[in-house]
């Protein structure tokens, strides 16, 4: 196999870079060791598009996040991704926090986030009646937004494929070939890929990839964040993202609406050393409940439908880095892309391509680039007339498989045969939400397995939850 550019990692950052590269007349291959796009951090985060108000001023992270935020309204429209500019409230609930508000506002200004204002106690309680009565005042950040993070990554990837990129999943990079001071390609579990440029966007494993070329002057440890998802019917909701006063370690545990009507609560910030441990634990979840109730006392955790954890790639020494090297040509190394990575991805794609051009990449503009990606029509969002029309065109839309989310067989089949095909139960879930409702797949799970097996032409016991070592069925009972 051969390409002009090899991108390692198909999370939000890798997929955004890939899409940006297709704006030029270049052949691009993106590989990932996982069985679906979305990496690890990109599919298990707070689903927030940040403004960068609290980034460290003058850093590359501040530059990229602040630049990225204004891109999302058009980007989400082009990629057909749910996105809502709900705004965020930062409430101070004691004297110590109240005293920090001017410094936080000044920090926002240093980051060129000027549309941030003080809110009085009365204003906050009028906007969010369920916030604690202890609130003293706070800050309002109107451009903090929420997005569907799964579909953002899928949207990047599918649009990149539409414009000529190739994705190789289940493909792990096991070495990089360097010749005459420049990269020449990578050895993978599916053979050697010759490439003129290599971009390391491997997230949690970027230090391992960097070690193949002698550039691992840092290491990455996983920082676990545990979350709750509450049912759409929970009584105590919020209309804005409720952000705690941030600390040096973490942005803290937030309470936020989602684009699909649930309530998201979390995360923790727990440093570890196992990059595969995405488990939840009692201590972490208890801390989320305790901190969330300080902000929204009436929140009802009995309405939880699931808990999950994400692993953020914490760089040591810290900081977001996008590096090129005098002694190693045609290699770009990204590291330290943490909690703001989903937001920054839109700007990182543009930044990386520009950096490559500054360092010798010659590429003609692809004037045929099409920025539009059309998602799978969602039956539950249609009017009765639209539902009747799509059933006439595709009878599988008449069969509701997931009752909690009103997801039809037609949507599931389209996900399975999409440009980045969904070949696992979780991949289907991420694209069309079958199994994301209150019963968490208890009703629709067997039917999704049946549809996957039928469409892929395999036995049902070959269908997996996520990767190869997660079979949904392990034997027959009769």
Among residues 54, 137, 400, 418, which one has the least CA distance to residue 427?
A: 418
Q: What is the dihedral sign for C-alpha 231, 237, 242, 248? A: negative
Task: State the pairing for strand pair 2-8/28-31.
Answer: parallel
CA dist., res. 145 & res. 123, Å (int): 20
Burial label for 243, CB within 10 Å (0-12, 13-18, 19+), is buried
CA dist., res. 451 & res. 264, Å (int): 30
Active-site residue identified among 50, 260, 359, 417: 50
CA dist., res. 243 & res. 137, Å (int): 13
**Is 50 noted as a catalytic residue in this protein?**
yes
Burial label for 232, CB within 10 Å (0-12, 13-18, 19+), is middle
Task: Name the 3-class secondary structure at 340.
Answer: coil
- Name every residue whose Cβ is closer than 8 Å to that of residue 285 and which is 6 or more positions away in sequence: 226, 228, 307
CA distances for 268 relative to 46, 97, 145, 247, 282, angstroms: 11, 20, 20, 12, 12
CA dist., res. 435 & res. 450, Å (int): 14
CA dist., res. 380 & res. 121, Å (int): 38
Catalytically active residues, by annotation: 50
């Amino acid at each position: 196999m051969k390409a002009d550019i090899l991108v390692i990692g198909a999370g939000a950052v890798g997929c955004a870079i890939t899409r940006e590269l297709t704006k030029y007349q270049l052949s691009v291959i993106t590989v990932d060791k996982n069985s679906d796009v979305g990496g690890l951090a990109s599919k298990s985060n707070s689903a927030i598009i940040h403004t960068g108000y609290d980034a460290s001023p003058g850093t590359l992270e501040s530059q990229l996040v602040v630049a990225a935020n204004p891109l999302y309204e058009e980007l989400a429209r082009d990629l057909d991704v749910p996105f809502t500019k709900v705004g965020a409230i930062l409430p101070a609930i004691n004297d110590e926090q109240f005293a920090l508000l001017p410094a936080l506002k000044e920090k926002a200004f240093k980051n060129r986030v000027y549309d941030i204002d003080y809110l009085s106690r009365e204003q906050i309680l009028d906007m969010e009646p369920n916030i604690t009565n202890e609130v003293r005042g706070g800050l309002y950040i109107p451009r903090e937004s929420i997005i569907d993070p799964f579909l953002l990554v899928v949207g990047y990837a599918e649009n990149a494929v539409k414009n000529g990129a190739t994705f190789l999943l289940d493909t792990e990079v096991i070495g990089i070939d360097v010749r005459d001071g420049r990269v020449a390609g990578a050895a993978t579990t599916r053979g050697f890929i010759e490439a003129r440029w290599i971009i390391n966007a491997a997230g949690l494993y970027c230090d391992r990839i960097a070690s193949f070329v002698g550039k691992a002057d840092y290491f990455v440890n996983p920082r676990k964040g545990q979350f709750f998802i509450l049912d759409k019917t929970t009584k105590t909701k919020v209309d804005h993202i409720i952000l705690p006063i941030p600390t040096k370690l973490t942005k803290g545990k937030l309470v936020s609406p989602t684009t699909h009507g649930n309530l998201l609560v979390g995360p923790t910030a727990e440093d570890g050393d196992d990059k595969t441990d995405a488990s939840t634990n009692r201590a972490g979840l208890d801390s989320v409940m305790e901190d969330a109730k300080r902000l929204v006392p009436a929140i009802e955790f009995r309405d939880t439908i699931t808990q999950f954890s994400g692993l953020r790639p914490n760089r040591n020494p810290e900081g977001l880095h996008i590096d090129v090297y005098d002694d190693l040509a045609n290699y770009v190394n990204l590291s330290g892309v943490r909690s703001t990575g989903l937001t920054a991805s839109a700007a990182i794609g543009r930044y990386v391509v520009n950096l490559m051009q500054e360092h010798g990449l010659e590429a003609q503009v692809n004037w045929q680039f099409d920025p539009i990606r059309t998602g799978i029509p969602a039956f539950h969002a249609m009017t009765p007339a639209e539902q009747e029309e799509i059933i006439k065109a595709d009878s599988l839309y008449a069969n509701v498989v997931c009752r909690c989310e009103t997801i039809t067989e037609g949507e599931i089949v389209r996900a399975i045969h999409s440009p980045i095909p969904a070949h696992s139960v979780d991949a289907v879930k991420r694209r069309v939400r079958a199994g994301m409702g209150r019963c968490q797949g208890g009703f629709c799970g067997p039917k999704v397995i049946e549809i996957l097996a039928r469409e892929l032409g395999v036995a049902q016991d070959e269908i997996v939850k996520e990767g190869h070592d997660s079979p949904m069925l392990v034997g027959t009972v009769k």
